[in-house]
Amino acid sequence: MQPALIVLAGPLARLPARRYSRDEIAMTPVQLFELVLLLLALVIPLELAARRIGLPPAAALILGGMLMALLPPSPDAPWGQDVKLDPDLTLVLFLPPLLMSSAWFTVWRDFRANLGIILQLAVGAVIFTTLIVGVVAHAVVPGLPWAACFALGAIISPPDSVAAKAVLQRVRLPPRMMVLLEGESLVNDATGLVLFRFAVVAAMTGGFNAAEAAGSFVLVAGGGVLAGAGFGVVVMWLLARLRQVHMQIIASLLAAWASYIGGEAIGVSGVLCTVACGLLMGWRQHSRLGAATRMQAKAVWEIVVFVLESLVFILIGLSLRSILLRLGEGPVAVQYLAPAVACVVAAVVIARFVWIFPSVYFRRVLPHARRHLGTSTPIAVPLIMSWAGMRGVVSLAAALSLPEAMPGRDFILLATFAVILVTVLIQGATLAPLIRAMGLDRLPDAKSTTLDESQARAVLAQAQLDVIRRAVGDDGTPQHPRLLEQYEYRARATHRYVEANGSLAAARSAHFDMILALVAAGRVELLELHHKGEIHDSVLHALEHELDLEELGARRHSGEEEEA
């Protein structure tokens, strides 16, 4: 691990001897805009390269940012600027919408059922890792005050929700493991940030009251949840009264920042406020939002999340330049810090193993835990959960927000960047191969007491058929015979498919393949009519929309959904 970290010191020696002053390389608004456009343009080749070589996009984006960071500084080129991330702006710009998106699509029933284990990871594991890292940091850097050591531990202890989502969405895990890992990433940032603030205050003032800190933690966390629920109720009330789809989508976007900023303004956890707001909105969207809003909002949110996630990881890599420049001009060279940094990285990784393995197997001693968790757990489960501890933007922003007078600030910055680099590049890149090697992607899903998709579709078809059967005239004849015939056929087909228990899968696939062929033929004819000038653009758009919806439904049922 140490040689990989010493690589950080190499580029420092190759940087030009000339050092531009802050005023010389201060970015103009035009250069800042050009830089953002450049970073967005880089996302495309980096994403394509990551998919070709089997690397997680997050890792490829960080590497791309690091390559930009190693370019010689220049006051003229936007890529040669010394980009300094403002920590407060970084958190408020990127974190709320990404948290809101994750919370919105979290299954509340599963989250609530596993809340105890999620809190063990999001609170217990974060506190434990903070303590372990603090002890190790003080051991390898004896001159670093205890409060600064624990501040470092609090910064790098919570796995990042952005990094976790970016990596986990491309792997296949048992549903319960996904619930635990995604639920943990939603909540643990709040724990880490609260611990971080206490540690910084202790480091700067020299005083710390454990009882007062514990009470403040409960108040901040509980207040964040309550405030978030309140925000969610208000936002859903507002969405129900907005008629235009685009206004509802804009309001849902603003809700992310409003809940975070509002929570911070009243002195509670902005992270938990946003998460609670997102959970409530996602739970109630099905009854409060229309079909058009849900479809268009999903598309808008996917684009927003993709852009923000991509920029986050590139900016993490790009922040390497300012860290190297700062350390290169300091009294301690990077290569002398590398062994201590390597120990901190190892402590972060090992501490998660030490917490998760006992929590998985020791809990089974209790009878009620055995009933809930089962009698045995493959070793692959705690192993993968321990390895899936990527850090990201929250850790970097917290480190950058340290006061200039903070003891050991340079060491904390380097250690934080190294932890992010190792966990995303190494753990993130090896997570999917490790899952496949241990067979977790082939484990059968736990038996569910709920209906599966085919069974639920049969129930819906029967309910629709009951309604159309009741629509009869005074003489008892059906008012809509064609609809009755159509829905009778649909009900018979869905029930037959459930009773066949999967034996009709090939016929079902062939059915939807034919629908796709029919849609394609209709699309060709529609475009031909438009090219000949026989239909107006408005007719083209209307019929094309119908064909698009039909195609999406057929692709979903045939298992040919386009890759997101």
The CA distance from 47 to 55, in Å, is 9
Which domain CATH number covers 352? 1.20.1530.20
Q: Verify that 416 and 541 share a domain, yes or no.
A: no
Query: Both 343 and 473 in a single domain?
Result: no
Per-residue pLDDT tens over the stretch 85-124: 778 888 899 989 989 998 998 888 889 888 989 999 999 9
CA distance 392 to 399: 11
For the segment 542-548, the average pLDDT, to the nearest whole number, is 87
Neighbours of 106 (CB within 10 A): 19
Q: How many CB atoms lie within 10 A of CB 384?
A: 21
Q: Does 116 lie in the same domain as 104?
A: yes
Q: Is residue 556 part of a domain?
A: yes
Among 20-24, 187-191, 350-354, 476-480, top mean pLDDT goes to 350-354
CA distances from 88 to 72, 264, 304, 322 (A): 27, 12, 20, 17
pLDDT above 50 (res 22): no
pLDDT higher than 80, residue 8: no
What are the tokens at 503? 């034996």
Residue that terminates a domain, selected from 476, 503, 530: 503
Cα–Cα distance, 122 to 131 (Å, whole number) = 15
Query: Is residue 474 one of the residues assigned to a domain?
Result: yes
Same domain membership, residue 474 and residue 431:
no
Q: What is the C-alpha to C-alpha distance for residues 81 and 36, in angstroms, rounded to an integer?
A: 12
Look at residue 41 and tell me if it is in a domain. no
Degrees (nearest 5) of the Cα angle 6, 12, 18?
A: 175
Q: Is the pLDDT of residue 181 over 50?
A: yes
Q: Are residues 405 and 479 in the same domain?
A: no
**Distance from C-alpha of 147 to C-alpha of 202, rounded to nearest angstrom:** 6
Say whether pLDDT at 442 is over 50.
yes
Cα angle, residue 56 at apex, residues 360 and 5 outer, rounded to 5°: 80
pLDDT (tens digit per residue) in 113-159? 889 899 999 999 999 999 999 999 999 998 889 989 999 999 999 98
pLDDT at 3: 36
In the chain, pLDDT over 70 holds for what percent of residues? 84
- Kindly give, in sequence order, each residue whose CB lies less than 8 Å from that of residue 336, ignoring residues fewer than 6 positions away: none
In angstroms, what CA-CA distances link 43 with 57, 162, 308, 348? 9, 16, 11, 29
> What is the C-alpha to C-alpha distance for residues 382 and 192, in angstroms, rounded to an integer?
22
Indicate if 315 and 357 belong to the same structural domain.
yes
pLDDT surpassing 60 at residue 523: yes
Q: What is the pLDDT of residue 34?
A: 83
Token digits for 362? 């020791």
Is residue 294 in some structural domain? yes
Higher pLDDT among residues 84 and 463, named by residue = 463
- Lowest mean pLDDT segment, chosen from 299-303, 379-383, 447-451: 447-451
DSSP string, 471-500: -B-TTS-BS-HHHHHHHHHHHHHHHHHHHH
* Residue 43 is assigned to a structural domain of this protein: no
**Residue 267: C-alpha distances to residues 91, 224, 500 (Å):** 16, 9, 57
Q: Average model confidence (pLDDT) for the chain?
A: 81
Residue 393 lies in a domain: yes
Long-range contacts of 549-555 (CB under 8 A, 24+ apart): 550/515, 550/519, 551/516, 551/519, 554/512, 554/515, 554/516, 554/519, 555/512, 555/516
Q: What is d(CA 210, CA 516) in angstroms, rounded to the nearest whole number?
A: 64
Residue 440: pLDDT above 60?
yes
Please say which residue of 451, 484, 503 terminates a domain.
503
Residue 181 inside a domain? The answer is yes
Residue 6, pLDDT above cutoff 50 = no
Are 272 and 176 members of one domain?
yes
**196 & 232 share domain:** yes
The rounded distance, in Å, linking the Cα atoms of 5 and 323 is 14
Cα 267 to Cα 161: distance, rounded to the nearest angstrom: 22
Confidence (pLDDT) at 68: 85
pLDDT digits (tens, 9 = 90+) for 233-288: 999 999 988 888 999 999 999 999 999 999 999 999 999 999 999 999 998 888 88
448 CB-side CA count, 13 A:
11
Query: Residue 527, Cβ neighbours under 10 Å: how many?
Result: 13
CB atoms within 10 A of CB 544: 16
For residue 19, name the pLDDT band (cuts at 50, 70, 90).
very low
Is 7's pLDDT higher than 80? no
DSSP code per residue over 41-71: HHHHHHHHHHHHHT--HHHHHHHHHHHHHTS
CA atoms of 561 and 419, how far apart (whole Å) = 36
Residues 140 and 179 in one domain: yes
Same domain, 548 and 434: no
The pTM of this model reads: 0.80
pLDDT band at 447 (very low <50, low <70, confident <90, very high): low
Instruction: Output the pLDDT for position 11.
Output: 33
**What is the pLDDT confidence band of residue 504, given thresholds at 50, 70 and 90?**
low
Q: How many domains does the chain contain in total?
A: 3
CB 418 within 8 A of CB 345: yes
523 to each of 184, 195, 543, 544, 547, how far by Cα in Å?
A: 45, 58, 9, 7, 7
Which residue reads 């705690």 in tokens? Answer: 382
Share of the chain above pLDDT 90, in %: 26
In a shared domain, residues 480 and 418: no
The sign of the torsion formed by the CA atoms of 156, 159, 160, 166 equals positive
Q: Name the token pair of 376.
A: 């045995």
Residue closest to 293 by CA, chosen among 214, 239, 226 = 239
Token pair of 109 as six digits: 């029933």
Residue numbers of the domain that contains 519: 504-564
Residue 76 confidence (pLDDT): 63
Q: How confident is the model at residue 503 (pLDDT cuts 50, 70, 90)?
A: low
Considering the domain boundaries, does residue 154 fall inside one? yes
Compute and round to an integer the Cα radius of gyration of the chain. Answer: 27
Span 381-388, average pLDDT: 90
Question: What is the spatial distance between Cα 425 and Cα 8, in angstroms, rounded to a whole number?
Answer: 14
pLDDT at 372: 47
Indicate whether 563 pLDDT > 60. no
Count of residues for the chain?
Answer: 564
Answer yes or no: do 282 and 179 share one domain. Answer: yes
Which pLDDT band holds residue 14 (cuts at 50, 70, 90)? Answer: very low
Answer yes or no: are the C-beta atoms of 419 and 156 closer than 8 Å.
yes
